[in-house]
Structure 1
Amino acid sequence: MVDGWPKCMPKKPSCHGVHCKPGTLCQVVNGWPKCVPTHKPVCWASGHPHYHTFDGHSYDFHGTCSYTVVKTCSHKPKLPAFHIIAKSQKRGNTRVSFVSQVTVKVYHYNITMVKYEHG
C-alpha cells in the first residue's frame, strides 16, 4: 500500500488488506481501492465574522472586505462551478464587524442575501 493505493490488484477489486491512515477508510473507487475521508468537509461564516474552513481551522476577520468562503478551482463534471462570497460591515465599533451579506454565484446566477432585508 502506497498513499492509499495498492501495489498489486486481485482480480476483483476489494479493500481486503488495505490499511488507511486515521480519518480515512477504504472504498473501491473506479475499480481501485482508495483511502477516502470518513466525513464530509463543511465550511461556514457567521456572526462577528467567524470563518470555519473545510480543514477544521477557524479565523476571525474584522475588516469590511468581501471574503471568498468557497470557490471551485477546477472543472469537475459532477460539480458545477460556484463561488460563495461573504461581505463584512462595521458594527458601530471600528474594531468589530459582522457578516452583512452573502452572495452565491452558480449556474450564471448571482443570489445575494442581505442581513435585515426580507423578500
Structure 2
Amino acid sequence: MVISALREEAKLENPELLKSYMRRGYWSVRPLADEVDFRLRRSYKKRLRLNPTAPEGCKKSTIGNLRSGYRSTVHPDTAQAICEVFGIPVEGLFLVTNSNVQREVGASVR
C-alpha cells in the first residue's frame, strides 16, 4: 500500500544572513536556541492539534547547524519561532515549501 502525505519544510536561503541577524541582536547559538525552544514549547499543545508533526522544541545543534550551513531545512514552526526572536517575517530568512511525499507501507510481495 502506498501512503501519500503533504510535507511542509522551511529552507534557510542564506546562512550568512542568519549569522548577520545573530550578530546584530548579540545572539549566540545557545541563548537563541533556548529562546526558540521556549517559544515552541509554550505553544506546543495548540500546534500539535493543528499539525501532528509539530516539533516539541529546538535543540542547540539545530541552530548551530543552520548557522554553519551544514543543515538548511527545519520545520516551518521552528522557522517561525526563529524569525519571531529576530522580529522579522519568515520570508526574510526562510523559503517555506510544500511537497507530496509517498512511501510504501507493508510487506512487499515477491
TM tier, smaller = under 0.3
Bigger radius of gyration:
1
Q: More strand per residue: 1 or 2?
A: 1
Q: More helix per residue: 1 or 2?
A: 2
Q: Identify which of structures 1 and 2 has the higher relative contact order when contacts are C-alpha pairs closer than 8 Å and 6+ apart.
A: 2
TM-score by length of 1: 0.23
